[in-house]
Amino acid sequence: MTEAPTITLPDVQQAAVLHSPGDVRLEKQPVPTPGPREVLIRVSAVGVCGSDVHYYEHGRIADFVVKAPLVLGHEASGTVVATGPEVTRVRPGTRVAMEPGVPCGQCRECRSGRYNLCPDVRFFATPPVDGAFAQYVTLDEAFAHPVPDSLSDEAAALIEPLSVAVWANRKARVEPGTSVLVSGAGPIGLLCVQVARARGASRIVATDVSEHRLGVARRLGAHEVVNVREQDPASVIADADVLLECSGSPAAIDSGIRCVAPAGTVVLVGMGDPTVPVPVDVVQRNELWVTGTFRYAHAYPAAISLAASGAVDLDGLVTARFGLDETERALLAARQDPTALKVIVRPNGTNIE
């Protein structure tokens, strides 16, 4: 067996720490020590998610409140540089995509295979658990997924949002011949388009209010696109087998449900207002299946395979890159540039825009 590479590790690292809304500071912290069945990962790339931006702007999401300094970032990749006791699955030098939620493994949901619903999951960048806007992090080895050399560091980081799209398509049971309406052409919607195409959907219609994003949706596999400011989606597709609602917009939820064929499936993926009106009469009359999604379970291997095969383009979603010392700029980028899709922070690299 080939010897694992010897890596000299520092004692101190830098991390971008959120202290309060609008206040992110670059600080020195000890490099964490991996515990039993944990690995230490040198972080290569971290995608900025809407949840990171929401914590930065508001200091909370629903009941999750930033009460103490918090490191954001949960879409991450890196290289294993050290292992704790009892690690058997990965060795130093392995490039990995980090699945950011480690469940308890003991509760009813975990035992049923629904570990994404574990009430005691420790998820990166969800208070009080620190995330990956840092040079090094530790992670349970079972959630450090090796990636092939064909995947870039940035694509490996974006396996996390791709897993959201994989899970949504699984919940919707998209298969060859399925007609799919994807409402919302942000990063998750664009990934849902690509996964639906990879699963053999016969017709994919994407909706949004941005012509730029609709153009990207068409490039990535949508057969038709609809700007809902100018056109009712029902005039284009009134009999979709599946609605993948990725915007969280009350208006999009209402209009999207009205586009689903009888006995069709509605999957609510996007997060918006905690309560929205739903056309219950349409749901009942057409016997629609309506469900939500919360993150994903057992989706990383499939997501890695899709990206490695070229069926899904992750690198093409990256629109800006920043160094760790410019994390605040990265968090503001999507608000300031309407064409931004995925913004990447490189904790151990230089700023490249």
pTM of this structure: 0.95
Q: In this structure, which CATH number among 3.10.350.10, 1.10.357.10, 3.40.190.80, 3.90.180.10 belongs to the domain 12-158+314-346?
A: 3.90.180.10
Whether residue 73 contacts residue 52, with contact meaning beta carbons closer than 8 Å, is answered with: yes
Closest CA to 49 of 147, 183, 174, 162: 162
Fold identical between 12-158+314-346 and 164-292?
no
Count CB atoms within 10 A of the CB of residue 86.
Answer: 10
Q: Which helix (H) or strand (E) holds 281?
A: helix 280-285
pLDDT tens, position by position, for the chain (353 residues)?
455 556 789 999 999 999 999 999 999 999 999 999 999 999 999 999 999 999 999 999 989 999 999 999 999 999 999 999 999 999 999 999 999 999 999 999 999 999 999 999 999 999 999 999 999 999 999 999 999 999 999 999 999 999 999 999 999 999 999 999 999 999 999 999 999 999 999 999 999 999 999 999 999 999 999 999 999 999 999 999 999 999 999 999 999 999 999 999 999 999 888 889 999 999 999 999 999 999 999 999 999 999 999 999 999 999 999 999 999 999 999 889 999 999 999 999 854 33
- The tokens describing 60, both together, are 């909370």
Order of all β-strands in the sheet with 23-30: 23-30, 12-20, 70-71
* CA–CA distance, 69 with 24 (Å, rounded to integer): 9
Query: Containing H/E element for 84?
Result: none
pLDDT score of 351: 41
What's CA 301's distance to the chain center, in Å?
A: 14
**CATH architecture entry for 164-292:** 3-Layer(aba) Sandwich (3.40)
Q: What is the pLDDT of residue 111?
A: 97
Distance separating alpha carbons of residues 311 and 303, to the nearest angstrom: 10
Give pLDDT, residue 350: 52
- What SS3 state is found at 331? helix
Tokens of 348: 């151990």
| Alpha-carbon dihedral 283, 287, 292, 293, rounded to 10 degrees | -150
Where are the chain's structural domains?
A: 12-158+314-346, 164-292
The dihedral region occupied by 221, where left means phi > 0, alpha psi between -120 and 50, and beta the remainder, is left
Give residue for tokens 């219609």.
205
